[in-house]
Structure 1
Amino acid sequence: MPEHLSDEMLSRRKSAEAFISEVIEPLNKESSVDTVANDVRDEIIAASKRQGFYYKTQPAEFGGHPAGIIELTMLRELWSSANSPLTDYIFGPGPGILHAAKGDLKRQYLDPVMRGEKRGAFGFTEPDTASRPTWGRLDGQSVLVSGQKSYVTGGAEADFVSTLVNIEDSNGGKLGTAMLAIDMAAEGVVIEREFASMEGSGHVSIIFNAVRVPITNVIGEIGQGLPRALENIGNIRLMVSARATGMCIWVIDLVRQHLLAPHRTGTPLGEREAVRLRYADMRIEVYAARSALYRTARLAESGENDVNETSATKIFCTEVAGRVVDMAVQLVGGQALVRGHVLEKAYRQARSLRLIEGANDLLRINLAKGSLDLGKGEL
């Protein structure tokens, strides 16, 4: 539970809260709502490095000081509760799917990513119009990749995309899936279109026209592509959960201030019993969501199998966030529906959380399968 954090962890939280108030909040007042200037980003990164937060997501071999899952969960929830896009620049880049890269793959992709010189994207999903999943045929020391990927987040700014590909031998025989690092500047890579989703994220659809990719760009081994793509999904879902509960904390505080403020009727809204009932429901749900979040973080840090628990937590926390933001809009009233209002933006963001990193109903199906077919999962 949040209140059972160690004294050392609470001290780190206090330092993180000071970072928000002393660095993020002043810069937030100077920044544009929609874009973050390069000098502001660089100032946050420099301050984060001085305070040591930047290195908490980086392996020791790259000069990092990696934090445990509980600490990262605590900090991610705190960053989210600040309700500022500037918090995206506090943590340094992590190795992600490239964490075990060696040789040329490490030199050309992982090392530049960790130095902040290259940016990667993740190509997993085909568009509904694709005739077949993205495939690659072995051709000597290369793989010729053809197909399409959509919803490649950050693809327009990426230097390369880590892509899930179905591999075939020279005769068309199936060899299984593989993850390949494909340069966005490679001949045959075409950005078909750029688009944004409702919460503001930018995506691209990519076409691969017989793109020649060196065999050394295979991340891991051929035949292990899907497990490689999903190996860190539990931690990512826990990150989404922390983002959701952090959003809830911010919303609860916003609503509390609104309910205590003077009202045109002469009586603060918070004095009305019906309003208090709805506000109480919001607090109850957030309390339960945070309890689930920290329990699952402890389970994940212990090294236990947490596949079902991280899925359950992601479902619950993101759906609580949706209900909490929805009720906040109801209590604040029509002004919260106006484009540009902080709750209007939060409403769009909260809705997206139920789809990213595994649609909630698909996760529900996997949860049931884990219990009924495999006997897995904790309560």
Structure 2
Amino acid sequence: MPVSRLMPDELGDDLITLVRQIADKELRPRVDEAEAAAARGAELPRDIFTTLGAAGLLSLPYAEEFGGGAQPYETYLQVVEEIGSAWMSVAVGTSVHSLTCYPVAAYGSPEQQAELLPAMLSGETLGAYCLSEPLAGSDIASMTTRAVGDGTAYVLNGTKSWISHAGHADFYTTFARTSDDGGRGLSCFVVPADAPGLSFGTPERKMGLHCDPVSEVLFDNVRVDASRRIGAEGQGMAIALSALDSGRLGIAAAATGLAQSALDLATSYAKDRVQFGRPIASNQGLAFLIADMAAAVGAARASYLYAARLRDARRPFSAEAATAKLVATDAAMKVTTDAVQVLGGAGYTADFPAERYFREAKVTQIFEGTNQIQRLVISRHALGG
């Protein structure tokens, strides 16, 4: 079933058509086997990102002069949703890569943008976003990874955790402490993957999203040229929070795509499955369940599109981004759970993707800020805090 859209222009329609063609040809035929293989230890399917990059889909919201697609965020997020409806791990990876480019695009000097963005946006490289630490997840200000100035460079030491693309990325957008002034003591760096002293932990054994490998990133006297510090010393917290507003919209869009696929599977199964001489979809109790699922998907889509339009209009959107992330990921969890219920015993088997959708949905309520953190952000805006 095609996902319903409100595209801003003809170019957007053409772009979505392209994404659907790639999803049908390159993503859907591979997703089940690749996810199962990755659960057994197979590598990141890097060729998929190469394909997306060649199509210009890894750099859509960034300036054309540096190799981006110069697309509105509303359009970019609909592309992420389409990818998420076909392969959630790849949609998350697409969102993560966009997040890694944001600090340079938004806070980098003209010289840094000219030097770094063309490679970041080329479609041939993949980034990782190093913010979380073993003891600093939601509490960013408590991070302990440290960057100490040494002449024309900084020396980084510490550990980042839960990092997508760790060991596979070409660069690492990294936040480290440059002073002990709490959250005002953080700074942002772009660390090349071949920097001596950079290493990686054992990949985490996760419930789902197996093709989104996650592990620790270890900094052991890693020297980074001062020209790769993005923004001023102490500006890292502002950069990280600003980036997360946009990143949360990427996760909201991906979660919406996942929920749409679960809805499509449930409706198709309900129309085909016959019990007591009629399709189970004709039972009002089940039909109402599907109606609630459809309403949840629609509400998720509306919430991220609204936030994206605010962002495109250069209006404040932090609360709306948190709302979109909260609404869309809670919807993904509910809709995937209900899809398993609609399929009954079949939904609990690996013969249908419902159980994979269910496993993939859970983490969306956790990463890019837990949904409890989203409620904190929303409440502070609502209460004027």
Letter matched to residue 185 of structure 1? D
Uncovered stretches (5+) of structure 1, i.e. residues with no partner: 375-379
Letter matched to residue 232 of structure 1? A
Q: Compared with structure 1, are the counterparts of its residues 212 and 83 closer, same or farther at alpha carbon in structure 2 (3 Å cutoff)? A: closer
The equivalent of 2:40 in structure 1 is: none
Aligned length: 364
Task: Output the TM-score relative to the length of structure 2.
Answer: 0.82
Letter matched to residue 203 of structure 1? V
Q: Compared with structure 1, are the counterparts of its residues 215 and 356 closer, same or farther at alpha carbon in structure 2 (3 Å cutoff)? A: same
The offset of 1:227, in angstroms, is 0.9
The equivalent of 1:72 in structure 2 is: 76
Uncovered stretches (5+) of structure 2, i.e. residues with no partner: 36-43
- Is contact 2:143–2:176 with CA below 8 Å preserved after alignment? no
Q: Distance in 2 between matches of 1:90 and 1:365?
A: 27
Aligned runs of 1:1-379 on 2, under 5 Å? 5=6, 9=9, 11-12=10-11, 14-20=13-19, 22-28=21-27, 31=30, 33-34=33-34, 45-46=53-54, 48=55, 56-83=60-87, 94=98, 95-99=101-105, 100-102=107-109, 105-106=112-113, 109-128=116-135, 133-168=144-179, 176-198=185-207, 199-200=209-210, 201-339=212-350, 341-374=352-385
The offset of 1:13, in angstroms, is 5.0
Q: Distance in 2 between matches of 1:173 and 1:253?
A: 50
Letter matched to residue 188 of structure 1? G
Q: Compared with structure 1, are the counterparts of its residues 314 and 210 closer, same or farther at alpha carbon in structure 2 (3 Å cutoff)? A: same
- Is contact 2:61–2:72 with CA below 8 Å preserved after alignment? no
The offset of 1:361, in angstroms, is 0.2
RMSD (CA atoms): 3.4
The offset of 1:362, in angstroms, is 1.2
The equivalent of 1:377 in structure 2 is: none
DSSP-derived class of the 1:79 partner: helix
DSSP-derived class of the 1:236 partner: helix
Q: Distance in 2 between matches of 1:106 and 1:372?
A: 37
Q: Distance in 1 between matches of 2:19 and 2:293?
A: 25
The offset of 1:44, in angstroms, is 5.4
- Is contact 1:240–1:353 with CA below 8 Å preserved after alignment? yes
Q: Distance in 1 between matches of 2:19 and 2:113?
A: 34
Q: Distance in 2 between matches of 1:45 and 1:129?
A: 32
Identity of aligned residues (%): 22
DSSP-derived class of the 1:253 partner: helix
Q: Distance in 2 between matches of 1:81 and 1:247?
A: 5
The offset of 1:316, in angstroms, is 0.9
The offset of 1:43, in angstroms, is 5.3
Q: Distance in 2 between matches of 1:219 and 1:101?
A: 5
Q: Distance in 1 between matches of 2:93 and 2:219?
A: 31
The offset of 1:307, in angstroms, is 0.8
Q: Distance in 1 between matches of 2:306 and 2:111?
A: 40
DSSP-derived class of the 1:178 partner: strand
Q: Compared with structure 1, are the counterparts of its residues 86 and 157 closer, same or farther at alpha carbon in structure 2 (3 Å cutoff)? A: closer
DSSP-derived class of the 1:57 partner: coil
Q: Distance in 2 between matches of 1:256 and 1:359?
A: 30
Q: Distance in 2 between matches of 1:98 and 1:136?
A: 18
CA offset digits 1:5-53 (Å, max 9, x no partner): 46x53x345434533554431334654631786766655555x35xxx6
Q: Distance in 2 between matches of 1:161 and 1:368?
A: 32
Q: Distance in 1 between matches of 2:27 and 2:191?
A: 36
Q: Distance in 1 between matches of 2:143 and 2:47?
A: 44
Task: Output the TM-score relative to the length of structure 1.
Answer: 0.83
- Is contact 1:119–1:159 with CA below 8 Å preserved after alignment? yes
Q: Compared with structure 1, are the counterparts of its residues 287 and 41 closer, same or farther at alpha carbon in structure 2 (3 Å cutoff)? A: closer
Larger relative contact order (Cα-Cα within 8 Å, sequence gap ≥ 6) = 2
- Is contact 1:77–1:242 with CA below 8 Å preserved after alignment? yes
CA offset digits 1:167-212 (Å, max 9, x no partner): 14xxx89882111222333332232322243222211212222222
DSSP-derived class of the 2:70 partner: coil
